[in-house]
Chain A
Amino acid sequence: EDQVTQSPEALRLQEGESSSLNCSYTVSGLRGLFWYRQDPGKGPEFLFTLYSAGEEKEKERLKATLTKKESFLHITAPKPEDSATYLCAVIGSGYSTLTFGKGTMLLVSP
């Protein structure tokens, strides 16, 4: 059974204070790891897909990295508008659907 654990559950940063969110996973034959952003009252919004260890993707202040056991979402010089819940999901070779983590709630204060 695929498993995804995200940490921390919640993170509070000052504007400009860089940090990282963690997504640890257990999966048989990783086919893809996905990062999403979810704002209150909205559906998850797709950010990145990572397919193999060593891969990195960037978008504005966000950078996602992948190892064989975990993924990090690095947030550089965050702004208040980066406040959201960030979700990680994986799909393994034994399953045809995503397994989601419970998310990290990020709050960036001005």
Chain B
Amino acid sequence: DADVTQTPRNRITKTGKRIMLECSQTKGHDRMYWYRQDPGLGLRLIYYSFDVKDINKGEISDGYSVSRQAQAKFSLSLESAIPNQTALYFCATSASTGNQPQHFGDGTRLSIL
């Protein structure tokens, strides 16, 4: 089983809809992250959380919100989806000791029509 699981893997929806992407992890890490990846733009950080009570905005948080329901669960919401939010979304986790690498899920491909 994957250490970092994202659901759904693919989603097609319409402009204006509310969408939730979910991430769960079994690595026991405190830190969790949401990124989006677009061709030519690379990975950009949306939100991150260093523990259950901590939520921080990343580089491109406008139009997104997050919820850290438990140490192992971190969800990303698009309150009213728009076409330029079409992208590949990744969740990642890392340990809180030292400068540890982040470990990624396999992503959610989101298309907004």
Contacts and interface: CB of A to CB of B under 8 A. Distances in A.
B104 A45 contact: yes
Interface residues of B, number: 20
A97 B4 contact: no
A43 B90 CA distance: 7
A43 B4 contact: yes
A102 interface: yes
Interface residues of A, number: 21
Nearest to A47: B101
A42 interface: yes
Interface of A: 31-32, 34, 36, 41-46, 49, 51, 87, 91, 96-98, 100-103
Top 9 closest pairs, chain A to chain B, by CB? A43-B104, A32-B99, A102-B42, A100-B43, A46-B101, A31-B99, A43-B106, A44-B104, A43-B105
